[in-house]
Structure 1
């Protein structure tokens, strides 16, 4: 069974570039090396009334102060931002990027349940 989570357990140098590109060096067990890879989070995360939503798109269109932090003893990658809600206010929001993103052969693997309906 495919694992669609916990990419961070086999990753180094996890970062967010340009506010929406998740990048890291992911370990490949076949060649026993780490390889640079990236995924555009705008293609799988949106903003629904001030909350991050998997399976939506383009969260950056209504976000400010986007940042990544590695939290807790396991260095879980958490994306933080201020997202605009339906009243036009920016509110703090966060999402655990490892909930639905895995590592397959040093490439990011997105849980199919989190792909936007428009791309299916």
Structure 2
């Protein structure tokens, strides 16, 4: 019983060291989502999100991503995994949440009736990441 307990302690200690070392190696410029933590000069022009983002070597790189490729309008609601939201949305803007400081895309989007527009928003920081100085979509693409 004592031998099993010792082996268990050694295995647990090794796993703990491995997890700890991974946390020390990961650079914020490689993290998924939360692009705004390592990017600056963040702007939106139509559906194009642009920024100057930190690379692994700590330099910065200008980058952009077309959000139309990843966000759609589903009956007046902005949604990840769909496409071309800008075709049926107007008054598109980018702001920051007061509570979380995450970037939020807002727009007036057309409902399925083709007549009614409703205010909707989606948190861009959820699925857009800075991967070594490049803005990339990190969510699921259902299509």
Q: Pick closer, same or farther for the CA change 1:34–1:73 going to 2, 3 Å.
A: farther
1:1-120 alignment to 2 at 5 Å? Answer: 3-17=31-45, 19-30=46-57, 32-72=58-98, 74-88=100-114, 89-113=116-140, 115=141, 117=143
Of Structure 1 and Structure 2, the greater strand share is in 1
Runs of 4+ in 1 over 4 A off after TM superposition: none
CA RMSD, Structure 1 to Structure 2 (Å): 1.7
Bigger-Rg structure (1/2): 2
Aligned residues: 114
Deviation track 1:35-87 (CA, whole Å, cap 9, x = no partner) reads 11000000000000000111100001101100111222653111010000112
Any gaps of 5 or more consecutive residues in structure 2? 1-25
CA contact (8 A) 2:104 2:121 kept: yes
Any gaps of 5 or more consecutive residues in structure 1? none
TM-score, normalization: structure 2?
Answer: 0.74
